[in-house]
Amino acid sequence: MVQAFVLVVNRDPAMMQIIWLSLQVSGLAILLAALGGIPLGTWLGMRPAHRVRWPALIIYTFMGLPPVLVGLLVYLLISSQGPFGVLDLLFTPAAMVIAQTMLALPIVAGLTMTAVRGKDREIRDTAVSLGANGRQVALTVIREARVAIVGAVVAGLGRALAEVGAVMMVGGNIEGQTRVMTTAIVLETRRGNFEMAIGLGMVLLALAFLINALLYRLQGVTQD
């Protein structure tokens, strides 16, 4: 435990590299998931529920999908025999970004949809009656639902950061290249290298705390 702490405090280079890669991969994944998920969720949320029953059902299913299934799917798509095999993405950080994006996007889209639905009608009527065009109406609805949408993005980031199985499958946990915090913890624990595992665990915990503290503040600021 003390040694784990020493590793963190001394900023062990191998550990720093792993943390930095984790942040890059998950950061990029959540960015892509937000760029796709927020418009998608808003669009779905603004349509009558019965007209988007199927897309909504699919998103809800993907929200709870076991990550290894997503890993398998991405693996099949980008492995050398797969349709995107020529891109040579397997066991690269890009592959991990793809897998994490696929895990986070349904969360962002699904929670955005729920946030938008319900209050969208009166907001939309008001915006339309004041002369807003389609795009302006959508932006207004997103703005009004922003607290919940930020929550959706944070939840998506949480899933991306915490994810092990899919990243392991498509990234390969290659030292110095595709080893991220979660896969490193699995490996180091198996090796009996508990200082490193605990150290990374503490960093993950701290990150989770930080993200939630940020969210809490954001919601506090807009709801006071």
Partner 1 sequence: MLEGVTKTYGTREVLRVDRLSLTGGQVHGVMGPSGAGKSTLLRLLNMLETPTAGRILYRGRDVNRHRPRLELQRRMATVFQKPVLFDGTVYDNVAYGLRVRGVRGPEIRKKVTDTLRAVGLEQLEKERVRTLSGGEAQRVALARALVLEPDVLLLDEPTSNLDPQNVALFEELIRSASSRRGTTVILVTHNVFQARRLADTVVFVHEGRVVEDGPAAGVFRSPRDERTKAFIHGEMIY
Q: Nearest approach, Cβ of 133 to partner 1 (angstroms)? A: 6
Q: Does 78 help bind partner 1 (rule: CB under 8 A)?
A: no
Gap between the Cα atoms of 161 and 15, Å rounded: 16
Name the one range near partner 1 by CB under 8 A: 29-37, 61-69, 135-143, 162-170. 135-143
Task: Quote the DSSP letter at residue 224.
Answer: -
Q: Does 52 help bind partner 1 (rule: CB under 8 A)?
A: no
Q: Identify which of residues 81 and 129 has a Cβ nearer to partner 1 in the complex.
A: 129
Gap between the Cα atoms of 15 and 120, Å rounded: 46
Q: Nearest approach, Cβ of 152 to partner 1 (angstroms)? A: 18
Binding residues for partner 1 restricted to 13-42, rule: CB under 8 A:
none
**Residue 170 host element (H or E):** helix 165-171
Gap between the Cα atoms of 188 and 165, Å rounded: 16
C-beta of residue 188 within 8 angstroms of C-beta of residue 197: yes
Residue 37, token pair as written in the block: 């998920």
Binding mask 174-193 for partner 1 (x = CB under 8 A): --------------------
Which sign, positive or negative, has the C-alpha torsion 89, 83, 162, 197?
negative
Q: How many residues bind partner 1 (CB under 8 A)?
A: 16
Q: Does 126 help bind partner 1 (rule: CB under 8 A)?
A: yes
C-beta of residue 109 within 8 angstroms of C-beta of residue 41: yes
Beta strands in 16-68 (DSSP E): none
Residue in 42, 101, 112, 140 binding partner 1, rule: CB under 8 A: 140
Residue in 57, 87, 130, 205 binding partner 1, rule: CB under 8 A: 130
Binding residues for partner 1 restricted to 96-125, rule: CB under 8 A:
122-123, 125
Q: By the criterion CB under 8 A, which residues form the site for partner 1?
A: 122-123, 125-133, 136, 140, 143-144, 222
